[in-house]
Amino acid sequence: MTQAQTITHYQPLLHTIAYNLVRCKEDAEDIVQETFTKWLTIDQQKIENTKAYLIRAVTNNCLNHLSSLRKKKEEYLDHFHLPELLTKFKETNLSKLDLDINLSAAFKVLNTKLGPLERAVYLLKEVFDFDYDELQVALDKKKEHCRQLFCRAKKKLEEETSKIHFALPDASKMMKSFREACDFGNASKLIQELKQQIS
């Protein structure tokens, strides 16, 4: 077999072996390529069994790779000392965690009970004090329509039961924009997110 035929013939087998050892497709591909590159630089006439040589070489390269990862992990963990971690935990604002949980629950309710346009009008008016003129400009909807949407949204949120929607939008992205709007006082990113959901 020529070198090209050998590579074509053994590449799938070596990739399978490498992947089973390192459990990462990209790393496995790199290791197989590195094995073939090294194999191409040596005198192949001295190799009695090419298949056995390539399998042993790829296995050794995988083991070296795993050993290197283990060392990096140990070095990384050495940088973090337990007292420092405990201090950081004590300094963590646990009330913020409660706020995140409450916000997540609130957005789940908004996504379940309100349509995208109602949700946009309700959030901007109720939370950010947009008046109907500002809503008209931000959402490109007439003032009267925004007023109706807001009243409808409030009524829906006051109801006990809600319809279940199986294809709910991802609340995490909108929640991030909402938090940024609250933290930095600029609702433009949130408005873009709400308009995207409307369209």
The span from the CA of 142 to the CA of 133, in Å, is: 9
**Same structural domain, 119 and 185:** yes
Task: Answer whether residue 88 is part of any domain.
Answer: no
Q: Going residue by residue through the chain (199 aa), what tens digit of pLDDT does each one get?
A: 899 999 999 999 999 999 999 989 999 999 999 999 999 999 988 899 999 999 999 999 999 999 998 888 777 666 555 556 556 655 555 455 555 666 677 777 777 888 888 888 888 888 778 888 888 888 888 999 999 999 998 888 877 444 444 344 455 666 677 767 666 666 777 777 777 777 6
- Structural domain boundaries enclosing 39: 3-78
**Same structural domain, 66 and 116:** no
The pLDDT score that the predictor gives to residue 154 is 85
| 132 Cβ neighbours under 8 A, 6+ residues apart | 125, 143, 146, 147
**Same structural domain, 129 and 57:** no
The span from the CA of 168 to the CA of 195, in Å, is: 16
The span from the CA of 119 to the CA of 197, in Å, is: 10
Record the tokens describing residue 24, joined without a space. 């990462």
Residue 90 carries which DSSP code?
A: H
Count: domains in the chain: 2
The span from the CA of 11 to the CA of 147, in Å, is: 66
**Same structural domain, 100 and 48:** no
Task: Answer whether residue 86 is part of any domain.
Answer: no
The pLDDT score that the predictor gives to residue 63 is 93
Axis-axis angle for helices 116-126, 188-198 (nearest 10): 160
Identify the domain boundary among 26, 52, 78: 78
pTM: predicted TM-score of the whole model, two decimal places: 0.41
The DSSP element (H or E) to which 148 belongs, if any, is: helix 143-158
CATH number at residue 24: 1.10.1740
What type of residue is 77?
Answer: L
The span from the CA of 192 to the CA of 107, in Å, is: 17
Identify the domain boundary among 78, 104, 126: 78
**Same structural domain, 111 and 185:** yes
Task: Answer whether residue 89 is part of any domain.
Answer: no
**Same structural domain, 74 and 103:** no
The pLDDT score that the predictor gives to residue 174 is 66
Identify the domain boundary among 44, 78, 112: 78
Task: Answer whether residue 85 is part of any domain.
Answer: no
Task: Answer whether residue 87 is part of any domain.
Answer: no
Record the tokens describing residue 105, joined without a space. 């629950």
For residues 175-188, b (16+ Cβ closer than 10 Å) or e, as one string?
A: bebbeebeeeeebe
